Structure 1
Amino acid sequence: MWTMGTDFRYQYANSWFRQMDKFIHYVNQDGRVNALYSTPSIYTDAKYAANEQWPLKIDDFFPYADHPNAYWTGYFTSRPALKGYVRAMSGYYQAAKQLEFFKGRNESGPNTDALADALALAQHHDAVSGTERQHVAADYAKRISIGYAEAEDLVASALALLVNQRLSSHVMNPVTGFQQCPLLNISYCPPSETALANGKSMVIVVYNPLAWKREEVIRIPVSTAEVFVQDSAGKEVESQLLPLSNITSSIRKKYVKAYTGTAPAGELKYWLAFPVSVPPIGFSTYVVSRPKQTGHVSTISKEFRSDGSTNNSIEVGKGNLKLLYSANQGKLTHYVNSRNQVTASVEQSYSFYSGHAGDDKDSQASGAYVFRPNGSFPIKSDQQASFTVLRGPILDEVHQQLNPWVSQIMRIYKTKEHAEVEFTIGPIPVDDGIGKEVITQFSTTMKSNKTFYTDSNGRDFIKRIRDFRTDWDLEVNQRVAGNYYPVNLGIYMQDNGTEFSVLVDRSVGGSSLVDGQVELMLHRRLLHDDARGVGEILNETVCIADKCEGLTIQGKLYLRIDRKDEGAKWRRTVGQELYSPLLLAFTEQDEDNWLHFQQPTFSGIDSSYSLPNNTALLTLQDFGNGKVLLRLAHLYEVGEDRDYSVTANVELKRLFPNKKISKVTEMSLSANQERGEMEKRKLVWKVEGGFTEESKVVRGGPVDPTKLVVELAPMEIRTFFVDFDPLQTVPAAENHVAM
């Protein structure tokens, strides 16, 4: 195979093809080789016809380099804001498709098509990768934003329809629309900030797009301390108020103005945090109002500030998980989980690599594609780091300001056994003429033996060994960049006793360059082009009223330490919850209209059923005419977990309790051809070393048309078109919708 062309070649297509025609003509005139314009399928058929044995490769080719100092590992992190936006909108899109199914698809009304198109476009290798020019990145984001606006209308109308169907007849006014808060990440949510101020109740519908029940804590901004939370049955829910940090307030003011054109009205005082319980593929309703009785009010977090005068440890965390900090330096020192008896020494630090500008020996610079560091520099505050602890019944927070452009909040929830790190980085200063690539490191005493694991597109984890490949002799010219890998879901390392895992909220680059240490790159701002076709430096800025400064990034990491071989359950479950976050929608209602009546809850599946813990519903999409696209995935690898790396069963009748299934057709993964037809054309390749029965890939069996149970083997994804009988529905008594 001679692959034709590279980037930009077909700008001169006429010249290109004339020369290729000549090349083919003269090669064939010689007669020893037959050259032809081909396709991947023609090439594959020719290789299969050769009847040879082929080597089996089970890992990948990362990291890639086209030059000793040009490792293409910078783009794993480039444009982290766009990466985060694509991830967030992908989760929103899946939830919106589910609600579109429950409401019924409307081709002419608001639907999910525009968002689907924009997200598909963003999968281009110069889009979410961050290797496009600035104006192109802005165009991708704009398209996604336009698609979101239409999907937002769909979600609001679908939730209103579902809520009104379930409201008591005593409730006088139906809900006409829900507001959502796309700027909640910068603590801006007008409905939650204004509702209580005018004597109204705020009704929050919390939608769960996963097919298992979720117990989580949600946080919303409120402008008053006089708040009282009730669940769908009218029962009081314990809640906690957390004062906004200075960084959160400044980001809110700056970026709300950047997005909306005007600064937010009034000062925001608190985050309101409270636990929610949400059924699978369904919603629960919560009401936030001013308390009618004294004592019924949210708890304000107690604040503790270290003055650095004591050497004692500060313990943070109310539940099984405790983090210990040194009081005099405000540094994380230990991780303690009383349930699984894990105690470990852990430290966290920030630093940056200076981006190489190229030199006389090699002009290669660090840029959008290439990561070429020129030294590492710790980020330390000029004085003792600002260190504040907020304590309360729901969660504890540790606020730290390292310098004017790096800060973080560490959260430990009472009911969770992982820590949440919310980092804020930017604007990265470049006044010194040096581009910077900012990283955080978690250091432990684990003996990881050069080995760590990173995910492959959020699915299986691939074993990485520093400076080593199993199937060729590796020469690493760049010790840091040459050991960086893409991290889409998470990264972990282990020794004989424990394993340390970090999950991410967007794709980043990461590594373990020292035994017992995990490193993740969080943000990049560079001053030179790396000469790989972008023709523009990676220097993202935000301009407000003609004043431009570097882009600020806010993101989250999630970390946990388990006993060896016990971390997979957390990585897979929480990883899925990060991909599909809870969707919040808000509406104002007169207090008297709502508070005396039970609020609705809803589950789109049989209320006594949820998917097995090792299985996820990836896609539920209405195709009209009684047809739905259903995609199910097994979340575990073979041997990954002793309990969950087993075949799972999904009962379709209980997934669709109020519909009569008339036909189930299994499709290819992309749903563009039937699996049965595809199997007929499947090629069976000869593999070097031969196949044993044990090494054959296990697959779930055919779906019995009567039992309608789908089998999923480890790591299997199966895609179906499910047809419903439009004339038959299951009687209401069997329709297990929670009320």
Structure 2
Amino acid sequence: MLNVHLVPHTHDDVGWLKTVDQYFYGSRNDIQHAGVQYILDSVIPELLRDPIKRFIYVEIAFFARWWREQDAAMKENVKQLVNEGRLEFVLGGWCMNDEASTHYNAMIDQHTLGFSFLQEEFGACARPRVGWQIDPFGHSREQASMFAQFGFDGLFFGRLDYQDKDTRVKQNNMEFVWRGSPKNLGKTSELFTGVLYNHYVPPPGFCFDELCNDEPIMDDERMHDVNIQSRVQDFIKIVKDQAQHFHSNNIMMTMGSDFQYSNAHTWYKNLDKLIKYVNQQQSNGSDINVLYSTPSCYLYNLNHLNQVWNSTKDDFFPYASRENTFWSGYFSSRAALKGYARKSNNFLQVCKQLDVLADLRREGNFALENLRVFKEALGVVQHHDAISGTEKQHVANDYAQRLAVGAERCQLVTNAAFEKLLPKGSDKAPQQVYCPLTNISYCDFTEHQKQFMMTVYNPLGHIITDFVRIPVSGGPYRVVDPKGLNVTAQLVQVTNETKRIPERKKSIATNELVFMVEIPPLGYSTYFIVETNNMDEATSQSSKIVSLPRDQSELPLYIDNDEYLVNLDNINANTLGLSNKRKNISIPLNQAIWWYEAFGGNCSKGEFQASGAYALRTKGERHRLQDDTSVYLTMGELVQEAHMNFGPEATQVIRLYKDMPFVEVEWTVGPINIKDKLGKEYITLYDTQSMTTGDLFYTDANGREILERQRDHRNTWNFNNTEHVAGNYYPVNSRIFIQDKTQNQQLTVLTDRSEGGSSLESGSLELLVHRRLLYDDHFGVGEPLNETGADGQGLIVRGKHLMILDTIKDSPALHRSLALKSYMAPSISFSELTMTPEQAMSKYNTQWSALKKPLPANVHMLTLEQWTDTPKIQPIEIPQILIRFEHIYEKDEDTVLSQSAVVDLTDFTTFKIVTMVELTLGANLPLAELNRLPWAYIPDTKEESLTKEKLLNTAIPRSQSIISLQPMQIRTFIATLDKMH
């Protein structure tokens, strides 16, 4: 028989056209008719009425909210449905996350949040076994690797490039084994993957939702409009058409779509009839058998056929839905929200760590409840219409507000932690104050204090040296380190370009106080800043401002430190000279901010496709902002800066900090002028003019592994590129680089948020940093991407790139460690200082670490948090933590750092581990109990063989305090602590 698996489902966006709350309650139906609570209210009784029916549910952010409103009787009924496998949770994350703009840390966290809810409320039967990424706009190989490490048996998705899908349909290659980490993790990262034939909607003509217009099945012979015979024949034809493109005698059909099943009875009544009458045709020789099913049931049937499948190790970016229509614009849409999400994830990790290290569990559920608010907010923002930037403006505002509320709740946790960690005796620690707008030189607290304390917490397991920039209104200052030693500081003027940013209109800061801090691993350092009139006491020095152009005899036209020299001789032609002094490498560099005109159109067909929140489409060549760039230098002992003004819409600062092995490029774009009726796509350009890199370049996948990209090429089909720019843009989550193998040179650019990027010519890189558009691209959002700021003008966005010029061999060690330091940056807080620094040092622990020694340089502690969401196997008073360690290098990247690593858990000073259980990556199953479905596949290159890949040794060494890690491996543990420690 040809088994047709009907999968009743609903796709419930966690915010898009309406906010999360509006979608759940069904408000603002003038925007979109959708109410998630009514879907679940309607589906559950239908399932309870008939043991044959099935339903899958995905978005735990909605389900958890619905669940919390149910009475005990309903909860028991739902548990029964889950235990019977008739209500199946697939994917299981807090949301269906985007795959292009998300960072792996946040992706793992949001799935862990959903998994823990399911585990807590339903136990083992609710554990998701299938990835269900049916709506994201392109798919990441790293996501596939994560799903395999979660213990999933397979993945299904809906969107892939139209040329790719056409090829796969013709070649009957819609299902395959996706090798998520072929170089590093092998079989542990392999995942059976299927492309849904009908996207994720019902087959044409067979949508039975009350919002659909398809004909119901009318089967009463006494009626004149009986259509059962034609409907059955139409369905059988659809089944046969689909089946010819798949290898097995099983096919799957998605019966549902966006926010459907608010009246589940209409769906199930018609599906019952469809199943009945199609299956009756078996008595006439039909081989078609239709049944209610789920994705895991479908997978189980495929697996037992013992077939050998094709394989791939590519990702699925960028996604194109037709000619001229590449969905690569959302890689950069809403750049401010993307940056805010990255910083919020950073702060959440800090809060979770401090909760454990300060042992706040003794304070009850105070910390857990506050952290829950932030976790859920950040989980929602990972949604594929959130961090992607493809939502309506009022929804984007709601996401940002949720992050802000979550951060405030998180600050309560960090304050409670520092109240325990800072005091030496009974003295109460001062309240910590956070300044989230220091990126625009604004901190109300430091601007109005004559003296204050600054506590810098380091969430990394390595010693960190970094430079801080504190907005101040006075001076000079004395800066004192945790040991009472004076610290050299530099006062850098707040620029006129910064002062014009409307969100800082209340600021009175005239300078930023810059100095270096050193922070122990997984610990903090406290510094003291005191304004003084005594120049002999002051440790701060003013910067010297030098304008350009000017008489070259006054001062050389360059900035430099021990690592780099940036020559500005030819700056008016936007050309720099970039030199790595230690490696004796020099290149000319056309580095500036440029823009593309965005294509406008009515989107009626591909040639009229407009650039919008989803799609990127440029018109003509890129444009220079102006020919004469005004430049001035800020010179000092700690930082040297070249300030470049490209006109009223864009500025940048190139910085060299003392002893730092990178060049910082801070870009500021906006307000983008649209009075000329042109939408604009702003890029930063890094054109070496000397490196020969051909058509190859490299980007990261969600912050982890590096993928090779080839311009105007796809590995799996003959690619016809209709858009030179958009068709070659890829997600850049943390870095992009080019290599000149003849000269042994690599130019790497690291980002502080996800952006779209490419190499459109040999020796060149570009990153799309800000967008303001006048047309909607007609993919549902219904409004152009036209963000405005506090003054009603176009939004001003500021971000940073770190540029590294090095040899190919030595580059990975730098870009790996700098990317880690960027996304897990030190957390800075301030507090009042009502005494001298010397007196404060006698009352407070000014430097502290939770580690006896740093972690190995190739190891990162990815997760440290309280863990009470597991089933109540043990009394809650027995403390448990969730802890993850990862190897941050790939194989063969570095002769030393790519070797295996060992972590000794006895190096922690604040807790003692009694027992430890290793879990799958999502922390919802002991690794020893994992038994995934095996899949045989044909390697996608002749040089590889099936026997080559071996499972990683994930066993815990005999001593539970020692953990070994292989390249790119993440290991997850639940550790039970000594409750008396």
Could you state the TM-score of these two structures normalised by the residue count of structure 2? 0.69
From 161, 184, 194, give the equivalent of 2:448: 194
From 780, 784, 795, give the equivalent of 1:537: 784
1:387 is the counterpart of 2:628: no
Task: Write the distance in 2 (CA, Å) between the matches of 1:577 and 1:44.
Answer: 41
Any conservation in 2 of the 1:426–1:551 contact (CA below 8 Å)?
yes
In structure 1, the residue corresponding to 2:254 is in which secondary structure? coil
Task: Give matches, 1:233-632, under 5 Å.
Answer: 233-251=483-501, 254-256=502-504, 263-264=506-507, 267-291=508-532, 293-297=534-538, 298-307=540-549, 314-326=557-569, 329=572, 331-358=574-601, 362-381=607-626, 384-444=628-688, 445-496=690-741, 497-544=744-791, 548-592=792-836, 594-595=838-839, 597=841, 600-607=845-852, 609-623=853-867, 625-632=878-885
In structure 2, the residue corresponding to 1:500 is in which secondary structure? strand
Task: Give matches, 1:82-161, under 5 Å.
Answer: 82-103=337-358, 104-105=360-361, 106-110=363-367, 111-161=370-420
Letter of the structure 1 residue corresponding to residue 598 of structure 2? G
In structure 1, the residue corresponding to 2:353 is in which secondary structure? helix
Task: Write the distance in 2 (CA, Å) between the matches of 1:409 and 1:268.
Answer: 19
Letter of the structure 2 residue corresponding to residue 28 of structure 1? N
Structure 1 gaps, min length 5: 258-262, 730-739
- Which deviates more, 302-311 or 620-629? 302-311
Any conservation in 2 of the 1:351–1:376 contact (CA below 8 Å)?
no
Counterpart residue number, 1:737: none
- Which deviates more, 28-37 or 629-638? 28-37
Provide Cα deviations, 1:118-156, integer angstroms capped at 9, x if missing partner.
000111110100111111111111111111111112112
Counterpart residue number, 1:215: 465
Any conservation in 2 of the 1:282–1:601 contact (CA below 8 Å)?
no
- Which deviates more, 6-15 or 295-304? 6-15
Provide Cα deviations, 1:298-354, integer angstroms capped at 9, x if missing partner.
111111111256599612012221111126627442111221222222221222222
Q: 1:487/1:10 Cα in 2 relative to 1: closer, same or farther (>3 Å)?
A: farther
Provide Cα deviations, 1:136-190, integer angstroms capped at 9, x if missing partner.
11111111111111111211221132111x36x8xxx532311111222221112
Counterpart residue number, 2:168: none
Task: Write the distance in 2 (CA, Å) between the matches of 1:446 and 1:28.
Answer: 65
Counterpart residue number, 1:713: 966
1:3 deviates by 3.3
Counterpart residue number, 2:912: 660
In structure 1, the residue corresponding to 2:615 is in which secondary structure? coil
Task: Write the distance in 1 (CA, Å) between the matches of 2:264 and 2:669.
Answer: 44
In structure 2, the residue corresponding to 1:3 is in which secondary structure? strand
Any conservation in 2 of the 1:453–1:463 contact (CA below 8 Å)?
yes
Task: Write the distance in 2 (CA, Å) between the matches of 1:660 and 1:108.
Answer: 21
Task: Write the distance in 2 (CA, Å) between the matches of 1:282 and 1:694.
Answer: 45
Task: Write the distance in 2 (CA, Å) between the matches of 1:410 and 1:21.
Answer: 66
From 902, 907, 920, give the equivalent of 1:649: 902
In structure 2, the residue corresponding to 1:578 is in which secondary structure? helix
Counterpart residue number, 2:322: 67
- Which deviates more, 142-151 or 694-703? 694-703
Any conservation in 1 of the 2:482–2:846 contact (CA below 8 Å)?
yes
Counterpart residue number, 2:936: 686
Task: Write the distance in 2 (CA, Å) between the matches of 1:46 and 1:525.
Answer: 49
Task: Write the distance in 1 (CA, Å) between the matches of 2:543 and 2:392.
Answer: 44
Provide Cα deviations, 1:361-380, integer angstroms capped at 9, x if missing partner.
63321111111112234233
Counterpart residue number, 2:213: none
- Which deviates more, 628-637 or 467-476? 467-476
Counterpart residue number, 1:735: none
Task: Write the distance in 1 (CA, Å) between the matches of 2:381 and 2:774.
Answer: 25
Task: Write the distance in 1 (CA, Å) between the matches of 2:957 and 2:781.
Answer: 53
Any conservation in 2 of the 1:308–1:329 contact (CA below 8 Å)?
no
In structure 1, the residue corresponding to 2:789 is in which secondary structure? strand
Task: Write the distance in 2 (CA, Å) between the matches of 1:27 and 1:447.
Answer: 62
Counterpart residue number, 1:226: 476
Q: 1:664/1:398 Cα in 2 relative to 1: closer, same or farther (>3 Å)?
A: same
Counterpart residue number, 1:673: 925
Task: Write the distance in 2 (CA, Å) between the matches of 1:642 and 1:34.
Answer: 57
Q: 1:133/1:183 Cα in 2 relative to 1: closer, same or farther (>3 Å)?
A: same
Any conservation in 2 of the 1:318–1:393 contact (CA below 8 Å)?
no
Q: 1:702/1:322 Cα in 2 relative to 1: closer, same or farther (>3 Å)?
A: same
Task: Write the distance in 1 (CA, Å) between the matches of 2:527 and 2:623.
Answer: 45
Any conservation in 2 of the 1:425–1:552 contact (CA below 8 Å)?
yes
Task: Write the distance in 1 (CA, Å) between the matches of 2:612 and 2:465.
Answer: 42
1:402 deviates by 0.3
Q: 1:461/1:24 Cα in 2 relative to 1: closer, same or farther (>3 Å)?
A: farther
Structure 2 gaps, min length 5: 1-251, 869-877
Letter of the structure 2 residue corresponding to residue 94 of structure 1? Q
> Which structure would you say has the larger Rg?
2
Counterpart residue number, 1:734: none
- Which deviates more, 114-123 or 155-164? 155-164
1:568 deviates by 0.8
Task: Give matches, 1:689-708, under 5 Å.
Answer: 689=939, 692=945, 695-697=948-950, 699-704=952-957, 706-708=959-961
Task: Write the distance in 2 (CA, Å) between the matches of 1:27 and 1:639.
Answer: 57
Task: Write the distance in 2 (CA, Å) between the matches of 1:25 and 1:490.
Answer: 55
Task: Write the distance in 1 (CA, Å) between the matches of 2:406 and 2:840.
Answer: 38
Task: Write the distance in 2 (CA, Å) between the matches of 1:597 and 1:114.
Answer: 35
Any conservation in 2 of the 1:308–1:328 contact (CA below 8 Å)?
no
Any conservation in 2 of the 1:489–1:506 contact (CA below 8 Å)?
yes
Letter of the structure 1 residue corresponding to residue 585 of structure 2? V
Letter of the structure 1 residue corresponding to residue 769 of structure 2? L
Task: Write the distance in 1 (CA, Å) between the matches of 2:268 and 2:496.
Answer: 60
Letter of the structure 2 residue corresponding to residue 364 of structure 1? Q
Task: Write the distance in 1 (CA, Å) between the matches of 2:654 and 2:323.
Answer: 39
1:397 deviates by 0.7
Name whichever structure is richer in helix by fraction. 2
1:642 deviates by 1.9
Q: 1:67/1:712 Cα in 2 relative to 1: closer, same or farther (>3 Å)?
A: same
Any conservation in 2 of the 1:395–1:414 contact (CA below 8 Å)?
yes
